[in-house]
Amino acid sequence: MSTMRQVAERAGVSAKTVSRVMHDDRYVSADVRQRVERAIAELGYVPNVLARTFRSGRDAVIGVAVPSISDPFFAALTGEVERVARARGVAVLVTSIGTDPAHEQAAVHALLGRQVTGLIMAPVAADQSYLRPCQDRTVIVFIDRPPARIVADSVVEDDLGGAHAATTHLLRHGHRRVGFVGDTLAIATTARRLEGYRAALADAGIDPDPGLVALTAASDEDSAKALVDLLSLPEPPTALFSSNARTSIGIIPALQAAGRTDVGLVSFGDFPLAAALQPPVTVIDQDPASVGRTAATRLFERLDHPNRRLKRRIVLPVPLISRGSCRGRPGPDCG
Amino acid sequence: MSTMRQVAERAGVSAKTVSRVMHDDRYVSADVRQRVERAIAELGYVPNVLARTFRSGRDAVIGVAVPSISDPFFAALTGEVERVARARGVAVLVTSIGTDPAHEQAAVHALLGRQVTGLIMAPVAADQSYLRPCQDRTVIVFIDRPPARIVADSVVEDDLGGAHAATTHLLRHGHRRVGFVGDTLAIATTARRLEGYRAALADAGIDPDPGLVALTAASDEDSAKALVDLLSLPEPPTALFSSNARTSIGIIPALQAAGRTDVGLVSFGDFPLAAALQPPVTVIDQDPASVGRTAATRLFERLDHPNRRLKRRIVLPVPLISRGSCRGRPGPDCG
DNA sequence: TTTCTCTATGTCACCGGTGACAGACAACGG
DNA sequence: CCGTTGTCTGTCACCGGTGACATAGAGAAA
């Protein structure tokens, strides 16, 4: 890879002049411009972005830190962030934090050390105060889950409202024993969805049965097992609220295997083919692309206008898409 | 953000000594080490990775360029690359190329300009010769599709063999009119899968009917439309080979809507819930994680041992997972 | 003609960490 | 007491592009 000075030498000019050509500076004669452009082409010169941005102290890169990029939800979200960033010529550095809270700080520091101008992250740990010192030079936008012990922008879905709506929807279809299937309360969104579920039961005057709450559905296998356990209770649930798309994808095959497609189901989070299943799955439409777009847009807004006053917390609505899985065996129609 | 010299000043030492502490250099007295560590903690010092790697000319970053990170296949692949890279302390820069071949070079140059040590990319254009000048300083591994007009490592699936197996599988279940649903021949994998499909028909002594080949399934809507068109032919196909998971996800709801779940189906590429559908979908298991792992492993192997001689082309087998959607209405059992 | 402006190009320091190299001092063997 | 070796710390240049500033010639204005 050649450097700017090599190009300069070949064109018989100074490095600065090459820099001027690269930046379409007005004050370059046609003759010189042509010679430099030829030299650039001949050497296949690609400017060293590191050097440029190193000088200015800040790189045109934003970091994205999510639990897992493989997760379709975060993949779609990241993809949208990247779209917005690319439109502005900003690169995107991606890191998977994993689910271990202890690893969050290391993963985020790896990004900060690269002098990212902005950071979009889904917090996993219970405390993000370690990010405070960085806030004067790096804009941080939290996604999916609100941050703790730090003031920053966040873009979250309406977990509480969505869970409430989902549960209420099942209750309206005549279900009285509604189960909750989730991964773990350590994840803030799950905790809030459980809260919404409980609130809906309370609003309907139904006594919550702790035995109907399964918080072990971390993997597909665990989800399936949690389902089997719930269905083999003496008084099994007639409907389930699945607290995210992954648990839904885990329990649906198990439901089918058990021949219990009569069990009502609402999934927090849409997923491919939800409409093609029998019965089609009613979902709370938690749109990852819109979270990504909103977060990236906010990030750049902060970068462009550091002094503008904006509401810290953006809560995206999560509409319910009724498809049919909400009614019980002899249930009434969805509406 | 503080610099190394600021830390040095606070600790009353030179910048170089701070550097030594950061690198656990043997020749630092316990006293000095402690003072420096205190200063680092007090200032919340995070070393500037840019500066360090800028000096050495190479950054501990690898680039990943795929058509779209939102695509679950590439998301899973990228996730696995990131896992392997993270285990080595190497960061991952991700770029979506999109489907426009003209954009490929710009997207890749954006990564190269950041001095990535390695590049994992799924080519979209018909010519990658523009990458030749970079090869002496950047290791390139192509994924999913082989490169053109350039010699480099590639990790691809056995498109030809997989498509052949899928088609043959349908033929063995008594189907004689097997349709092909794909996006576009501009994508190399689709072209090779069509080739495999045709070869399987030829091996079975069946005259290929060009009318059964639909190459318009770029989006879910287009896939659905392609399916409807195929089924309304005077002599419609009794089975379909869907050339990738996305087209499958597009045509399955349409199949269900048309009440034609009797139509045989094999999908190139597994997808969530394929087993939970009615009937469960037989697939060619194209494992994105293993592509990612293999590519990343090869990349680091090249970086660690630049002179080792290795086979350029790695073809991953794609096993067929028979689930039931392959048989026709009154068909025999799957094998 | 002088002065000023505009154009076109060059020089140089600097960003922040680090490799090469240079001391300085202590300990130790002869 | 000197030479040698080992330990600890500092100085300085450098990576590559760019901002600040200088300079030089051309033409215009005074």
pLDDT 10s digits, B195-250: 999 999 999 999 999 999 999 999 999 999 999 999 999 999 999 999 999 999 99
Q: Which two tokens stand for residue A58?
A: 């800040």
pLDDT (0 to 100) of residue B316: 98
Partner B contacted by A56 (CB < 8 A): no
Q: Give the domain range for residue A24.
A: 4-47
Q: Is residue B175 part of a domain?
A: yes
Contacts of A111 in chain B (CB under 8 A): 91
Q: Is residue B333 part of a domain?
A: no
pLDDT (0 to 100) of residue A2: 87
Q: Is residue A327 part of a domain?
A: no
Q: Strand, coil or helix: what is A157?
A: strand
The distance (Å) linking the CA of B89 with the C1' of D9 is 30
Measure B250 CA to nearest chain A CA, in Å.
9
pLDDT (0 to 100) of residue B335: 39
Q: Which two tokens stand for residue B292?
A: 């990612």
Measure B114 CA to nearest chain A CA, in Å.
5
Task: Answer yes or no: do B79 and A92 touch at CB < 8 A.
Answer: no
Considering the domain architecture, whether residues A108 and A168 belong to the same structural domain is answered as: no
In 3-state terms chain A splits into helix, strand, coil percentages (rounded to 5) of 45, 15, 40
The distance (Å) linking the CA of A17 with the C1' of D17 is 11
Q: Is residue A330 part of a domain?
A: no
Contacts of A246 in chain B (CB under 8 A): none
pLDDT (0 to 100) of residue A333: 44
Q: Which two tokens stand for residue A237?
A: 């649930």
> What does the alpha-carbon distance between residue B80 and residue B298 come to, in Å, rounded to a whole number?
13
Please give the residue that has the higher pLDDT: either B335 or A122: A122
Task: Answer yes or no: do A69 and B82 touch at CB < 8 A.
Answer: yes
Q: Is residue A301 part of a domain?
A: yes
Considering the domain architecture, whether residues B282 and B302 belong to the same structural domain is answered as: no
Considering the domain architecture, whether residues A146 and A37 belong to the same structural domain is answered as: no
Q: How far is CA A249 from the centre of its chain?
A: 18
Q: Is residue A300 part of a domain?
A: yes
Partner A contacted by B126 (CB < 8 A): no
Bases of strand D lying below 7 A from some protein CB: 7-12, 14-20
Bases of strand C lying below 7 A from some protein CB: 7-12, 14-20
Nearest to A54 among B50, B80, B253 (CB): B50
- The length of chain B is 335
Q: Is residue B77 part of a domain?
A: yes
Cα angle value A15/B104/B162 (rounded, 5°): 145
Nearest chain B residue to A72 by CA: give it: B72
Considering the domain architecture, whether residues B107 and B150 belong to the same structural domain is answered as: yes
User: What is Dmax (Cα atoms) for chain B?
Assistant: 88
The distance (Å) linking the CA of B20 with the C1' of C10 is 39
pLDDT (0 to 100) of residue A144: 96
What are the b/e assignments for B140-156, b being 16+ CB within 10 Å?
bbbbbbbbeebebbbbb
Considering the domain architecture, whether residues A261 and A273 belong to the same structural domain is answered as: yes
Nearest nt (C1') to B54 (CA)?
D15
Count of alpha carbons within 13 Å of B252, Cβ hemisphere only?
31
Decide if B92 contacts B109 (C-beta within 8 A): no
Contacts of A110 in chain B (CB under 8 A): 91
Q: Is residue B174 part of a domain?
A: yes
Q: What is the per-residue pLDDT across B97-155, written as a single tens digit (0 to 9) for each?
A: 988 898 898 888 888 888 888 999 999 999 999 898 788 888 999 999 999 999 999 99
pLDDT (0 to 100) of residue A331: 41
Considering the domain architecture, whether residues B87 and B180 belong to the same structural domain is answered as: no
Considering the domain architecture, whether residues A294 and A152 belong to the same structural domain is answered as: yes
- Which residues, numbered 142 to 201 in chain B, qualify as contacts with chain A under a Cβ-Cβ cut-off of 8 Å? none
Partner A contacted by B249 (CB < 8 A): yes
A328: left (phi over 0), alpha (psi -120 to 50) or beta: beta
Please count the other Cβ atoms lying within 10 Å of the Cβ belonging to residue A96. Answer: 22
Contacts of residue A80, defined as CB under 8 A and 6 or more positions apart, other chains included, come to A288, A289, A290, A291, A292, A293, A296, B70
> What does the alpha-carbon distance between residue A52 and residue B57 come to, in Å, rounded to a whole number?
13
Decide if B243 contacts B215 (C-beta within 8 A): no
Considering the domain architecture, whether residues B187 and B85 belong to the same structural domain is answered as: no
- The length of chain A is 335
Considering the domain architecture, whether residues B183 and B252 belong to the same structural domain is answered as: yes
Partner A contacted by B82 (CB < 8 A): yes
Measure B207 CA to nearest chain A CA, in Å.
33
How many domains are contained in chain B?
3
Cα angle value A105/A108/A110 (rounded, 5°): 110
Of the candidates A157, A156, A169, the residue with the CA atom closest to the CA atom of residue A283: A169
Q: How far is CA A272 from the centre of its chain?
A: 17
Considering the domain architecture, whether residues B43 and B63 belong to the same structural domain is answered as: no
Reply yes or no on whether the pLDDT at B328 is more than 70. no
Q: What is the per-residue pLDDT across B42-75, written as a single tens digit (0 to 9) for each?
A: 998 989 888 988 887 767 789 999 999 999 999 9
> Which CATH number goes with the domain that contains B75?
3.40.50.2300
Nearest nt (C1') to A18 (CA)?
D17
Contacts of A249 in chain B (CB under 8 A): 272-273
Q: What is chain A's pLDDT, residue by residue, as a tens digit (335 residues)?
A: 789 999 999 999 999 999 999 999 999 999 999 999 999 999 989 899 889 888 877 667 899 999 999 999 999 999 999 999 988 878 888 888 988 898 898 888 888 878 888 999 999 999 999 898 788 878 999 999 999 999 999 999 999 999 999 999 999 999 999 999 999 999 999 999 999 999 999 999 999 999 999 999 999 999 999 999 999 999 999 999 999 999 999 999 999 999 999 999 999 999 999 998 989 999 999 999 999 999 999 999 998 888 899 999 999 999 999 999 987 644 444 43
Considering the domain architecture, whether residues B153 and B167 belong to the same structural domain is answered as: no
Q: How far is CA A316 from the centre of its chain?
A: 12
> What does the alpha-carbon distance between residue B243 and residue B265 come to, in Å, rounded to a whole number?
11
> Which CATH number goes with the domain that contains A32?
1.10.260.40
Nearest chain A residue to B50 by CA: give it: A114
